[in-house]
Structure 1
Amino acid sequence: MDLDAVRTFVAAADAGQFQEAAAELGVTQQAVSKRIAALERSLGVRLFTRTARGAGLTIDGQAFLPHARELLRVAERAAASVHTGRRPLRIDVLASRSAQSGLMRGFHRAHPEIELDVVMLFDIETAVAAIRSGAIDASFRAVAVPGRPLPEDIESVRVLDEPLELLTGPAHVLAGARSVTVAQLVGHRIWMPGIVPGTEWAAYYDDLVAEFGLTIEATGPNFGSDALLDTIADTPALATFMGGRSRLVWPAGHGLRRIPVTDPMPVYPHSLLWHRDNPHPALVTLRAHLAATAAGHGAAGTWAPGWVLPR
């Protein structure tokens, strides 16, 4: 149904004259007549009768009027739901317990007036496609995997370098260390079943292994973080890496240890991606917040893959 015709019908019904409706809508009286006639043809009924005073509603017109008003109200609500100044800011984070999620929680605390929709997409191709289609406004990612440069219409800014930590059970040989160097990890079994080939984090850990001669095993099914923590707690020969800002909870009896890694400190780079033409005003606020509050990157004594964009 043509909403312009419905809007014209309501204006004419309220005014009682096609001429006044035309003036209100900023169109000619002939345009009003054509729109009303088209609406009547689509409905198969007459909506107005001509009178000496102007135009009066028929019985069918009176029956249609409240529904026409509701149609216009629904159309206004639909438009408002996607208006960039009114709809929630939609942001993609990798996981609910990740550093990225922590950055968004900090943003929400600083700007509680901004509505947020937080989603979790799996890989960077999916995230970039969602940014370009407008399904999301921005995504946190490691940028950029070798051989897969970002499209020219996607902007990025590096917002956080997250230190890696070694996670061990209480019986692991390194469990009592206050920190460990990368060289001390050579020969130890580091188990990370969540690494998926072709992902950003797989490329990151591939470079980490190649650079320092570490042993990272991604074997076995990934049953999630709880199962990983159970296994690490019970297996003295295994350790795993986790982000220093990841928020994980485990039973007190597990006795797990989070140990800083140094010389150099491996850091996982987090960048914010968005479409250069995205007009959502809250996106500007988010970028300003991250620039003011997120830790810097590229500090001395840290390591990240050479393919990560520095900006």
Structure 2
Amino acid sequence: MDLNGVRTFVAVAESGQFQRAAVDLSLSQQAVSKRVAALKKDLGVRLFTRTTHGARLTVDGQVFLPHARELLQAQDRAVAAVSPGRRALRVDVIGRRLSLAGLLRDFHRAHPEIALDVVTLFDADAAVAALRSGTIDATFRAVAMPGHTLPDDIEAAPVYDEPLQLFTGPGHEFATAAAVTPAQLAGQRIWMPGNAPGTEWTAYYDELAADFGFTVDTVGPNFGVEALLDTIAASPTLATFLSERTPLVRPVGHDLRRVPVHGPTPVYPHSLLWHTRNRHPALTALRDHFAALCPEHPGTNVWTPRWARRRTPRPSDDR
């Protein structure tokens, strides 16, 4: 359906005259008549009855009018969605309940004028593919894991080294500890059913476990955070890792404990990734916000995987 014809039909319906609609649309009256006639042919119904006072909607015209207005509103929304400076900035985070989602909320509070669309893709490969296709504008990921190299058209800048804590139930041997060292976790079972082979977070925890001698147990289906909390709360032997910034609503009756890990502190290395040719006007604000907010974890006695210890941003040609 020709939306120019639809817009012309609405103009005639609202003005009641072909001549007045022609003035409103900066068209000749002949052009208005031709557009309405073409729309009438497409629909197969008569839309107006000519009178001495102008044009009156037929019954079919009255029925079609609200739908015509909806079509034009949809067209206007579609155009606005991709207009420079109008499209929402699409940012990928691993999970909406993890710390980076909270930091992204802080960015939105600092820049309420920037429309933001938050999505969750499964892993770094899916996120990089979405960056290259233009599906998203930015993603937060741990990069440079073994066997993975970023394409030349993807930029990466480290933005946040996130300290981890041990999370236990009240019956665990470390439940009352003021802090533990990674070496003390040797022989422990760290339950993380969400770890999937080939993902950046699994590569991180596999190397952490290998360096300090504990076991990452991925047995069992991943039913989400609530099920994990239930299991950890009831177990004297299982623990898991969470960020010190992970927001949690602890179920009533679950005496769950967060235990700091020091000497060294394991930190998860988040980087911000974007496509070199992406010119979304809000992307610079996002990069600047995170660069200023948390460029690196302030501690010096920290552990990161070997593949993340040489993270340096490539110079960007659009900064």
Tell me, yes or no, whether TM beats 0.5. Answer: yes
Q: Residues 93 and 118 of structure 1 are in contact (CA less than 8 Å); yes or no, is this contact kept in structure 2?
A: yes
Partner of 2:219: 219
Q: Distance in 2 between matches of 1:159 and 1:215?
A: 29
Between the two proteins, the alignment pairs up a number of residues equal to 307
Deviation at 1:298, TM superposition (A): 7.8
Query: Tell me, which stretches of 5 or more residues in structure 1 are unaligned?
Result: 11-15, 26-34, 45-62
Could you tell me which residue of structure 2 aligns to residue 57 of structure 1? Answer: none
State the TM-score, normalizing by the size of structure 2: 0.77
Partner of 1:244: 244
**Contact 2:158 2:295 (8 Å CA) reproduced:** no
Cα shift at 1:74: 5.1
Shift of 1:257: 0.8
Q: Tell me which residue corresponds to 2:273.
A: 273
Letter in 2 for 1:215: T
CA distance in structure 2 between the partners assigned to 1:235 and 1:215 by the alignment: 16
Residue matched to 1:194: 194
Residues 1-311 of structure 1 mapped to structure 2, 5 A cutoff: 75-297=75-297, 299-308=299-308, 309-311=311-313
Alpha-carbon shift at residue 132 of structure 1 (Å): 1.4
* 1:219-248 deviation digits (Å, cap 9, x = unpaired): 111111111111111111111111221111
Cα pair distance change 1:2/1:259, threshold 3 Å: same
* Partner Cα separation in structure 2 for residue 160 and residue 95 of structure 1: 16
Amino acid in the other structure paired with 2:132: R
Equivalent position of 1:58 in the other structure: none
Q: Which amino acid in structure 1 is aligned with residue 273 of structure 2?
A: L
- Pair 69,93 (structure 1): closer, same or farther in 2 beyond 3 Å: closer
**Alpha-carbon displacement from aligned partner over 1:263-295 (angstroms, at most 9, x marks no partner):** 111100111111111111111111111111125
Cα offset, 1:41, TM superposition:
11
Q: C-alpha distance in 2, partners of 1:84/1:117?
A: 16
Q: 1:86 to 1:180 in 2, by over 3 A?
A: same
Q: Percent identical across equivalent pairs?
A: 60
Q: CA deviation at 1:195?
A: 0.7
Cα distance in 2 for residues equivalent to 1:40 and 1:255: 71
- Over 3 Å counting, the alpha-carbon distance change for 1:180 and 1:79 in structure 2 is same
* In 1, Cα distance between equivalents of 2:149 and 2:70: 48
Stretches of structure 2 that go unaligned for 5 or more consecutive residues are 11-17, 28-34, 45-60, 314-319
Distance in 2 between residues matched to 1:135 and 1:299, nearest whole Å: 36
Question: What is the one-letter code of the residue matched to 2:227?
Answer: A
CA separation of 1:233 and 1:73: change in aligned 2, threshold 3 A: closer
Once the 2 structures are TM-superposed, how far is the Cα of residue 299 of structure 1 from its aligned partner? 4.3
Alpha-carbon offset, residue 297 of structure 1: 4.1
Residues 152/42 of structure 1: CA separation in 2 closer, same or farther (3 Å cut): farther
